[in-house]
Amino acid sequence: MTEESNPRTDRLLRLAESLTEGADVDWDSETGLDLLSAGTVAGLRDLAAVIAAHRGLSLPQASPPEPARKSAAPGTWGPLRLERKVGQGLSGEVHAAVHGDEETPVLLFLRRADWEISESMKARFAEECDRLTRARHPHLVRVLGGGVHQGRLGLFTEDVSGVSLQERLVVSGPPAPDTTLAIAEDLVGAIRSLHGVGLFGRDLGPGRILEAPEGGVVLLDLGSVLELAAGRDLPDAGTRPDPDMEAMVRLLISLRGRPSGSPSSGDRTGLTQALARLYHAAPDSPEARRARVDLGVALGARLAS
C-alpha cells in the first residue's frame, strides 16, 4: 500500500465500520470531502440501504450463544503485556493489556498487521499520539501513549467499560430529552478538548460513545480522531459549522429516534447554532444555560415536525 492511498483507504474502512454498526452517515459530506468519487459514494449509499432493509427483516430466533472464550494471551507490544483480544474491526483490533511494573490495566488499539508504515506516517502518528495524550476531559477517554512496535501502529488508553449508546438505544429506546441534552453537553466538552490540541472527532456514532459507570458519557473510539485539524475552521456561532458540529447534529437526531439520514438544511440550523453557542460558552455560565435551553427547543421543534 502506498502512502498516497492511505487517506482514501482509511475513509473507506471507517465508512464500512459505520455501515456494519448501523451508524448514520452524512453522504453529502462524504461526496464533498474529495477522498472518494461520487460513484463510490453512490455505491456505498445503495449498500447502506440494502443493509438497512435486511436489518428490518424478522428472522427466526436462534439459541443463545455460548459464552465467548477469552483469547489466549498473545504476547507483548512495546511496554505492554497483552492479556486478551476484546474487539476486532476492519482497521484493527482492541486488546486488554497491562502497562508498567504496577501492571496498570489499559486498552490497546492496534492497526492491522498488514498495513505498510512509511517513515512519514510514523512521524505523523507520533505527533497525533502526543496531541491525544495532552487532551484531557472527564468525558473523553484518556490516551496514555502510542507508537510503533513490532511493525504495528497502536495507542493505548485508560481501561474503560460501559454500555454504548447504540446498545442502549436497542435495549431501552431513545433517551429522555433531559438525558439527550446532558449527553450533548458532555460531548461538546470532549470535542472542545480535542480541538484544543488540534484534532477533530468527526465520527461521533452512538457505538463509539459509552455510558460511564459514574454517570454521563465517554467518547471512546480514538481511531476516528487521528486527523490533524491544521488550517480548519472551528465553529463560529453556527454560520460555518465544522465536521464535529455536523456529526453532533446527526447524533442528537438519531438519539431522539428520528429516521436515519442527513437532516435538512432547515433542521440543521437551530441545532447547529445552539451547539456552537454551547461550545463557545464557559461551563455553567449564563451563556451555557441559555444555549442549553435553545438546544432543547431546537430538539423539541425537530421532534414535533
CA 147 remoteness from chain centre: 21
62 located within any domain: no
Give φ, ψ of 154 to 5 degrees: -165, 160
Question: pLDDT (tens digit, 9 = 90+) per residue, 3-30?
Answer: 444 566 666 767 776 666 566 676 666 6
- Based on the structure, what is the number of domains in the chain? 3
Same structural domain, 127 and 257: no
- Note whether residue 120 is domain-resident: yes
Write the CATH number for 252: 1.10.510.10
Is the domain of 193 the same as that of 135?
Answer: no
Note whether 25 and 92 are same-domain residues.
no
The answer to whether the CB of 179 falls within 8 A of the CB of 165 is no
- The full length of the chain comes to 305
Both 172 and 280 in one domain: the answer is: yes
pLDDT digits (tens, 9 = 90+) for 72-129: 446 899 999 999 998 887 778 889 999 987 889 999 988 888 888 888 888 888 888 8
- The distance in angstroms from the start CA to the end CA of the chain is 48
Is the per-residue pLDDT at 282 higher than 80? yes
* Domain ranges, residue 173: 165-304
